[in-house]
Amino acid sequence: MRVIPIEAQGADVAACHEEAGPVPKMDLPLARREFLRGSGILMGTLATGSVLALLAPSTAWALELKSLSTSEGQTLLAMGRTLFPHKKLPDAVYAILVKDLDAKADALQVLRDGVASLDRDCGGAGAFVKATPARRLLAVQAIEGRPFFNTVRGQCVTSLYDNDMAFAVFGYEGACFEKGGYIQRGFQDLKWLAAPPAEASPAPFAA
Amino acid sequence: MAKFGQDDDGLVVIIGSGAGGGTLANELCQKGIKVVVLEAGARQSIGTYIQNEWKSFGQLAWLDKRTTSGTWRVARDFPNLPAWVCKTVGGTTTHWAGASLRFQEHEFKARTTYGDIAGASLMDWPLTLADLDPYYARAEDKMGVTRTNDIPGLPGNNNFKVMYAGATRLGYKEVHTGRMAINSRPRDGRAACLQMGFCFQGCKSGAKWSTLYTEIPKAEATGNLDLRPECHVVRIEHNAAGRAEAVVYVDKDGNTQRQKARAVCVAGNSIETPRLLLLSASNTFKDGLANSSGQVGRNYMRHMTGSVYAMFRQPVHMYRGTTMAGIVRDEAVNDPKRGFVGGYELETLALGVPFMAAFLNPGGWGPDFAEYMDNYVNLAGMWIVGEDMPRATNRVTLNPEVKDKFGNPVPNVHFDDHANDIAMREHAFSVGQRIYAAAGAVKSFRTPPYPSTHNLGTCRMGAKPDDSVCNAYGQTHDIPNLFISDGSQFTTGGAENPTLTIVTLAIRQSEYIAKLMSIRAI
């Protein structure tokens, strides 16, 4: 789990569903720190009661960025969602993408310029994040194949799909050796087709 | 485990510890012959294997830089990863799926059977199925292949149920859970399969045959094996008479070492094996060792491959259970009426979410891609693997522009699909999609070839020294104490997964080497 849990949360932040709720306001110390370091922070919450909330130590998460600003981080997060639009995948997973991009020092300028170009395409600073999904898709299609696009798309493949939350969302059970494999846990539990005859598929070994 | 001196020139040095090298080492050690195995990778165990696709990839895969050229799609999707093979003790037997099929008789006579195919360098093998049958039998017994030696087949998983239903509805007859070197019941001191999946990540129960925990410990128990992991061979040296006499390697501490040898056997898989012969060029052998024919590195084959993933309305959970859980063999015949020569197998395959994202459609994105991932539990998958045409221009060469960490040129892998490969792939994709449609698929997707797992042919065996690198025993025509001991020997590729044939050739080669040593011919 590559998400930073934070404990202290204001009531409005904890209550905010990341997809539907209001954007949480940052308190002064954090904003001041961002100004001093030139870096941003992304925050959100996992829907309580979901299987994902059970995976995380806290339903609230925050991600400190080393190089990118909050606005740049939000744009890249939205670009990740445009490239690989999974309704059930929470922003916390797309934030992993932003964190991994933020760590690519040699790609920083490409990322900054790319974010600026997406915004320009959508009408000005911060416009990509506010645009409709269809408008975002057009903006991303327009840059397909460029270094910025390739950097973000390539990073998505490893950042979005190799973490416990993604496994849970997609129904993939991950490592299973500790559970004894699937020999007694459903490797042939499919019922909507007839079982093959024994000569094609012999019965499992019974110890 | 034995420790032999660097100046001991009475032993056999084997480069590589996979299906070819690991098997050959054990066979020679059992005959009382002293062996040094130099393995570039580190030694893992079933305890250290990792059931996470990317982490395991980092642990086991051969990630040294390589370059690519040619029109094959792998060169675009994975320009520095032409092959998905392993750098670890046990080599690619850690990663292989376990399918163990004998070649068919006609596949050893590809030139005679298929005729003169333009743009292909087809040739008959210098041996026949009858020559190999007794050795195939020994390999199957050694590896514990299901449906041989009274070993029952494995139970089929959900992914196989889907394949079986679709294939039999289309009228296919030979559909079953395959001949697999995976224990369906305990055998040879190894457990039965737990149906974990993760066959590609190293089998954590040891049910799947790998030289790491079969051949190598058995060889070590004889006291005749000195296995040196993390030792990367950079050069084979010869004496004034043109015989191989030593192997130069860099050990794990970065020190260059030189091991003398009575014979040298190269089993570094079909990219590193020809590369090493080319890197070992000398004043006597200016084009590289064993390369008077000019065939070293040529005729690189990778099997015609592709995958079909299909989406169903209900769950499949294809990742549960053996990765290659079943097979359709009816299309493996040679029936030129289909529009191509040679045949192909259809074998179930499953990837976890991390690798599905990477390999389903490399470079892909957007809502259609996301829909496949959203329906991951409802996917079934199969791999197609068929005979590809050898071509002199498909080859491994040294790339002088790019150097590895030892300062040596990296291998470049050039590949262009032959028209026969393209026609066969089209046929196989279409059959795969029809199988899934017959089982009720909502839709299906043609996944392009992964980086090559079956790398073959770059030091082909043949009857004549002027058009082949080695003879029917893998002995190079030019240097009698230098042997090719891996899939590089293959004259042509056949439709079958190659490991069983590599092991079979290694067993046969061990008898030949022992005989040559006993009569002091080498």
The per-residue pLDDT for range B477-507, each reduced to its tens digit, is: 999 999 999 999 999 999 999 999 999 999 9
Chain B, nearest residue to A198 by Cα: B155
Cβ within 8 Å of residue A44, ≥6 positions away: A16, A18, A60, A61, A62, A90, A91, A92, A95
In angstroms, the CA B475 to CA B488 distance is 12
Give me the mean pLDDT over the B83-106 stretch: 98
B194 touches chain A (CB under 8 A): yes
In angstroms, the CA B37 to CA B216 distance is 10
For testing contact with chain B, the best of A79, A137, A161, A189 (most B CBs within 10 A): A161
Amino acid identity of residue B364, one-letter, is: G
Q: How far is A119 from chain B (nearest CA, A)?
A: 20
State how beta strands B395-403 and B409-414 pair. antiparallel
Tell whether the model's pLDDT for residue B381 goes beyond 90.
Answer: yes
The per-residue pLDDT for range B288-330, each reduced to its tens digit, is: 999 999 999 999 999 999 999 999 999 999 999 999 999 999 9
pLDDT-above-70 percentage for chain B: 100
Q: Can you give the pLDDT at residue A21? A: 39
The per-residue pLDDT for range A57-113, each reduced to its tens digit, is: 678 888 999 999 999 999 999 999 999 999 999 999 999 999 999 999 899 999 999
B73, B419 contact by CB (below 8 A): no
Amino acid identity of residue A65, one-letter, is: L
A158 touches chain B (CB under 8 A): yes
Name the pLDDT band for B467 (thresholds 50, 70, 90): very high
Q: How far is B305 from chain A (nearest CA, A)?
A: 23
The per-residue pLDDT for range A142-183, each reduced to its tens digit, is: 999 999 999 999 999 999 999 999 999 999 999 999 999 999
For testing contact with chain B, the best of A190, A191, A205 (most B CBs within 10 A): A190
Q: In whole angstroms, how far apart are CA B237 and each of B34, B171, B337?
A: 20, 57, 50
A196 touches chain B (CB under 8 A): yes
A202 touches chain B (CB under 8 A): yes
pTM of the full predicted structure?
0.94
B158, A188 contact by CB (below 8 A): yes
- Please calculate the CA angle B214-B215-B216 and round it to the nearest 5 degrees: 100
Name the pLDDT band for A12 (thresholds 50, 70, 90): very low
Name the pLDDT band for A19 (thresholds 50, 70, 90): very low
Q: How far is B413 from chain A (nearest CA, A)?
A: 23
Residue among A84, A192, A196 minimizing CB distance to B369: A84
Contact flag A187-B356 (C-beta cutoff 8 Å):
no
* Chain B residues 203-222 with a CB less than 8 Å from chain A: 204-205
A88 touches chain B (CB under 8 A): yes
Structure tokens at A35: 């100004």
Contact flag A189-B165 (C-beta cutoff 8 Å):
no
Structure tokens at A1: 């789990």
- Residues of A with Cβ-Cβ distance to B377 under 8 angstroms: 170-172
B38, B233 contact by CB (below 8 A): yes
B173 touches chain A (CB under 8 A): no
Contact flag A174-B52 (C-beta cutoff 8 Å):
yes
- Residues of B with Cβ-Cβ distance to A80 under 8 angstroms: none
Q: How far is B176 from chain A (nearest CA, A)?
A: 4
Tell whether the model's pLDDT for residue A27 goes beyond 60.
Answer: no
Give me the mean pLDDT over the B167-184 stretch: 98
